[in-house]
Amino acid sequence: MELCSLRFAFVLALLLYPCFAAARGGDRRPISLLGQMDDQGWMLSRHLLEDQPLITDDMVSGYMSNSELEMAIKEFGRRCSNISRVYSIGKSVNSVPLWVIEISDKPGKDEAGPSFKFIGNVHGDEPVGRELLIRLANWLCDNYMKDSLAMLIVKHVHLHILPTMNPDGFALRRRGNANNVDLNRDFPDQFYPLNDRLESRQPETRAIMNWVKERRFTASASLHGGALVANYPWDGSQDTRKEYVACPDDKTFRYMASVYSHSHYNMSLSKEFEGGITNGAFWYPIYGGMQDWNYIHGGCFELTLEISDVKWPKSTELPVLWEYNRLSMLNLMASLLKHLLWQMIA
């Protein structure tokens, strides 16, 4: 389709379907999209309308602040130094380092086996992931000598954990980063090449892109909140219609997403999503997302995991959320090995 009419169809479709869901997608409030056009008539889809933070001090209590998270990461690095390394992949707009915990029996070495990355807190107001990822790292450290699954992962999967991709958004208690850009709309997109404009790429997005190009990740998952479902590519559809758009590795992706949902306490029992999984575009199409970019440009099988219906639950619920997701996270990583073994004998 010609770009101009494609663009028109995109805007039109968005006008007809102003909002679907809140988690990966936009805002639940009905909004006038006409107000968001830039000088070329293109949707400023990366930018958010000014969100009024509704997160009270009470809700924040019990969650680690950014400096507490940084301390927890450094402390982890000291405590588990023989299976880990801590490094930074860049800085946020407000100069908060984007710390990564690497976990492996050979930290800092390039290995031939599969590598996995977890990214939390892409959206500032979805903080459960950053807390669960610190728990995941500590659990692996405490158990890799006594639990067979932990042992398998530390030995055979090279794991990289970025607890927060959006520390500024977290501090501001809102979805976007310090420039109020939705980082999960900021990546180059296969259907909307205008998202390729480099000059407006956010530093957090750039850090992820460089990281992915520098390292070879076999698979990954980013953690979100606002729904309970394991979402897989494609996230976008050519014509902005809500429809199942299968990527070339659809079967593998459905397998990975099912591993997560069926290992979870109750994700697979979803009434909204059959088996607790969904194709992104079938749920609602998004453009500029991290997941599709990883698959296309990083050769990395990335899932978008919505791990709690409530975006910002009370901190007292975190231990339970960790228990609900623990086996899912572990099995997802271990599935790379089973998959590999399967390929070897097939």
Ligand X SMILES: *[C@@H]1O[C@H](CO)[C@@H](O)[C@H](O)[C@H]1NC(C)=O
Instruction: Map tokens 């639950």 to a residue.
Output: 313
Rounded to a whole number of angstroms, the minimum distance from the CB of residue 233 to ligand X is: 23
Residues listed for the chain: 346
Residues 139-198 that bind ligand X (CB under 6 A): none
Residues 220-239 that bind ligand X (CB under 6 A): 228
Stretch that binds ligand X, among 71-79, 132-140, 264-272, 294-302 (CB under 6 A): 264-272
Per DSSP, the three-state class of 307 is: strand
Out of 46, 158, 173, 224, the only residue in the binding site for Zn ion (CB under 5 A) is 224
Rounded to a whole number of angstroms, the minimum distance from the CB of residue 269 to ligand X is: 4
Nearer to Zn ion, 123 or 160 (CB): 123
Question: Which of the choices Zn ion, ligand X, none does residue 269 contact, using the CB cut-off of 5 to 8 A by kind?
Answer: ligand X
Out of 46, 123, 185, 339, the only residue in the binding site for Zn ion (CB under 5 A) is 123
Rounded to a whole number of angstroms, the minimum distance from the CB of residue 22 to Zn ion is: 8
| Residues contacting 301, CB < 8 A, separation 6+ | 218, 219, 220, 249, 252, 253, 256, 294, 295
Instruction: Map tokens 């500590």 to a residue.
Output: 138
Rounded to a whole number of angstroms, the minimum distance from the CB of residue 129 to ligand X is: 17
| Residues contacting 16, CB < 8 A, separation 6+ | none
Locate 28 and state its tokens: 């639940």
What is the maximum alpha-carbon separation in the chain? 60
Stretch that binds ligand X, among 14-22, 213-221, 245-253, 262-270 (CB under 6 A): 262-270
CA 258/CA 254 separation, integer angstroms: 6
Question: Which of the choices ligand X, Zn ion, none does residue 174 contact, using the CB cut-off of 5 to 8 A by kind?
Answer: none
| Residues contacting 99, CB < 8 A, separation 6+ | 69, 70, 73, 86, 87, 88, 162, 163
Question: Which of the choices Zn ion, ligand X, none does residue 117 contact, using the CB cut-off of 5 to 8 A by kind?
Answer: none
CA 20/CA 28 separation, integer angstroms: 7
Residues with catalytic function: 306
Residue 82 as a binder of ligand X (CB under 6 A): the answer is yes
Nearer to ligand X, 237 or 270 (CB): 270
Residue 51 as a binder of Zn ion (CB under 5 A): the answer is no
Pairing of strands 277-279, 227-232: parallel
Site residues, Zn ion (CB under 5 A): 123, 126, 224
Site residues, ligand X (CB under 6 A): 82-83, 105, 228, 266, 269-270
